[in-house]
Every structure is written in C-alpha cells, then in structure tokens.
Structure 1
C-alpha cells in the first residue's frame, strides 16, 4: 500500500475540516446540545426512568448515533463528490494510487472526523446529564465501526450523486427518519408487538441498541446481533464500492 498517497489525501481532507471548523464540529455539537437541554433537562425531568436509567441519560447514545450517522455520510459524500465536481478525480484515478488507497484515505478521514465529533458530544452530554459507561471498549468499537460503515455509505452516495442536492437527499430523507424511529428517544420494548417486529427491519435499531448497551448494559436486541449486523452493513458497502470501481460507475464518464 502506498502510505504516502494515503497520508496525503487523508491530511488534505482533515485540513479541510480545520478550515471549516464551525460547520464541521461546532455546529453539530451546538445542535445536539440543544437536544440535551430540551429533552434531557427540561422534558426528561418529567419522564420516569427507562429500565433504571434517567430519560436524559437514556437518549444520549441515540443522539450521539444520530449525529454520527449523518456526519459520517455527509463528510464522506462531499469528500469524494467535490473532486468529481471539479474534475480533479481524473488526476486521482490516473495517479499511481490504487482504489483501496483512495477508499482508505477518504473514508478514514470522514470516520476520524465523526469519531472526534462523537467523543466531543459525549463529553458535552456529561455536562447536562449523569452518564456512565459500563463497557468503554465496546463503546469505542461500536463508535468506530459505525463511523467507518456510514462513511463507506457516504462514499457511495458521493459517487452516485450527480448534484449537490442529492448529497443531502439520503441523510435527510432516509438516515434521519430511520434514526428517530430506531429507538433514539425510546425503547422498542414499549411498542406493541406488531410495531416492535416492524421496527426490527430498521437497520439503525441494531446500531443504537448495541451502542446503548455499551453505556448502561441494556439493549433492545442482543449485543451480538448488533455487532454482526454492523459488520454485515460494512461488508455490503465495501462490496458496492468495489463494484463501482471495477465498472467505473460514474467515475470514468
């Protein structure tokens, strides 16, 4: 692997984050902090505990996951779409850089931004609600795996999109609704049996459930199932990216 090329692309993407610090880091943290204030402090004080956890603390993993998913997709999709938009993607494709190195660079940078953002939000949440992390290693594992998985999805969207408006189409119309309906603000155990079964078809449920388990030891589905599903999503997205590069889908025309 050409580590010099990987490092060059990675550093370029991270430098773009530093230039747009307000948009990349500060704005999502402020937005999520408002959720902590409104739902955690104001409304949460009027809602009873959920499985022994205060409501304000219960929603923290879901809120972090909501921001993690949307930011991972947005960062990776814009990162690869902008070279396509400006035409510099052809210089990259003709350079002595393999497809694997391109994916590792862009996805690695997007995942790094998302993980840093998630950790900042975690520290911010601790200022508003009492937190405990029973399984810190598993928490980091789910955080990193989720960031990488949805950065891969963002990479796919960045190649698929043929306009800036399509970059926001999937995060706004698919990712965000699935996250809200995936147990971010409630436990699926409170749903009627039929709707709980329907909810299990929402892939985000497994991500949020596993992440919440790492905090409080409670989960809507088995943590093993959550981990397997996360790996399955990652594998599927890798296969799609491999097909895109092999066929030159929207890259060589």
Structure 2
C-alpha cells in the first residue's frame, strides 16, 4: 500500500484557499451582506407578525436555515468551480498525470471547499448574534452537522464540476434545484405550520432533514428526529463518494 501524498494534497488545498483570498469580496462579503438582508426582510417584516415558532423567537429560528443555505450554496459552488476550471483550461491533465491518486485529489479539492463553507457558516453565525439572541443547546452536534453538511455538499459540488461541460451546466443544479429546495425545506418556517398534504409532500424534500437536524442542535426542536437527519446526511455522503469513485475509475468526463 503506497503512502499518502500529503505534499500533493497540501499543494492543491493551498492553491484553492489562495483563490478565496483573491476573491474575498465575493467569497465572504457577499454571503454576509445577504444574511443581513435576510434578517431585515424576514426578521423585521415577517418577524413582527410571527413572533415565535416552536417556542423560539422567529429571528433566531431562521438562523440555522440561513447558515444551511450558505453551506449548501458555498460548498457546491466552491467545489464545482474548483474542479471545473482546470477542465476548462485543460490543466486537469497535469493533475491527473501527477503522482497523486484520485482519492487524494478529492480530499484536496473537497477539503478546501468544505473549509470555505464552514468559515462562511461561522461568519454568518457570528453576524446573526448582532441581530437576534442565538443560543446553541448542543454545540457538539452543531459543529458535527456543520462539518458533515459542508463535506457532503462539497462532494456533491465536486461531482457536478466533473459532470458539467459548460458554465451554464455548472449553474443549473445550484440555482434551479438546490436553492428552491432550501427555501421549500423549512429554512424559514417549520413544516408543522403547513396544511396537509403539503406537510407530507415536504418530507420528500431532502433539505428538510438537513435543516431540521441543524436547528435541533440550536434549540432542541426539529421537524424530524435527529437520527433520521443524521442518517440522511451520511447516506447522501456515501452516495456521492460512490459516484465519484466510479467517475475516477472510468475517467468519466475527466479523460478524453
């Protein structure tokens, strides 16, 4: 069994993190500004009419949903552009011919994307404390869901980056699928507030399980059980790993 190429992993990871520093306004300032706008619109306009949800102040109630929205979009976008751009510039062949395995390539790119997503999530959490009283009842579970979700959707983004053949395809899944599912997945409301059959229909939305588990770690309340949320995250991660393993094994859209 060959040794892990730590210098190779570190080189790719460092290059991806350096890209974030060069685009700090887009990478950091934009999500923070978006969060502030959400608090102004949802926290003030809607919060003035709906004071509590599940015994939690509405402004504080939406904090886990805002963080989850940022985790999903940032994880997917950073990982997908990270692997797609080398494909676009034809420098992917240098990565594939280097003495570094497919697993190590995934660890480097996905690790960098997940790091960025977690950083954005924590920045949004800190920003939220200036607007609403945020409490975290289970900080260990909060960090676990934060990291697991960032890793899982960075893997998903990496998969999209390999699959995409154009910048248009790169944007299809995040903009037309992930973002709508997040808004309809209980990020800004509890699905218990929905009448039937919409409450049952919402249970087919995978984002419900992510938001519910993450919100439980804050306030001890959720739309589904913690175990179900955790099983979903781990199951989706395993599925992404299986698909990525097949892509590298077959060279799908990586090799001519």
Q: Is TM-score (shorter-chain normalized) higher than 0.5?
A: yes
Q: Confirm or deny that 1:80 pairs with 2:77.
A: no
- The CA distance in 1 between the partners of 2:250 and 2:200, in whole Å, is 38
Shift of 1:61: 0.5
Secondary structure of 2:165's aligned partner: coil
- For the 8 Å contact 1:41–1:129, the answer to whether it is kept is no
What is the Cα deviation at residue 119 of structure 1? 0.1
> Structure 2: how far apart are the matches of 1:72 and 1:97?
23
Does 2:43 match 1:30? no
Partners of 1:192 and 1:236 lie apart in 2 by 32
Aligned residue for 1:250, secondary structure, equals: coil
Q: Which residue of 2 aligns with 1:7?
A: 10
Say whether residues 1:225 and 2:228 are aligned partners. yes
CA shift for structure 1 position 192: 2.0
Q: Distance in 2 between matches of 1:213 and 1:94?
A: 45
Q: Which residue of 1 aligns with 2:71?
A: 68
Is contact 1:69–1:147 with CA below 8 Å preserved after alignment?
A: yes
Matched, 1:214 2:214: no
Distance across 2 between alignment mates of 1:224 and 1:64 = 20
Task: Say yes or no: does 1:51 pair with 2:54.
Answer: yes
SS of 1:170's partner is: helix
Q: Deviations over 1:197-217 (max 9, x none)?
A: 111111110000000000000
Q: Output the CA distance in 2 between the equivalents of 1:48 and 1:3.
A: 51
In structure 1, stretches of 5+ residues that fail to align are: none
d(CA) in 2 for partners of 1:146 and 1:44?
A: 27
In 2, the alpha carbon distance for the partners of 1:130 and 1:168 equals 35
Pairing partner for 1:149 from 105, 130, 152: 152
In the superposition, the TM-score normalised over structure 2's length comes to 0.97
Partner of 2:48, secondary structure, is helix
CA distance in structure 2 between the partners assigned to 1:15 and 1:111 by the alignment? 14
Native 8 Å contact 1:37 1:128 kept in 2: no
Q: In the aligned structure 1, how far is the partner of 2:57 from the partner of 2:156?
A: 33
> 2:171 matched to which residue of 1?
168
Q: Which ranges of 4 or more aligned residues in structure 1 deviate by more than 2 Å?
A: none
Q: Any conservation in 2 of the 1:40–1:56 contact (CA below 8 Å)? A: yes
* Unaligned stretches of 5+ residues in structure 2: none
Query: What's the offset of the Cα at 1:105?
Result: 0.2
Equivalence for 2:133? 130
RMSD: 0.8
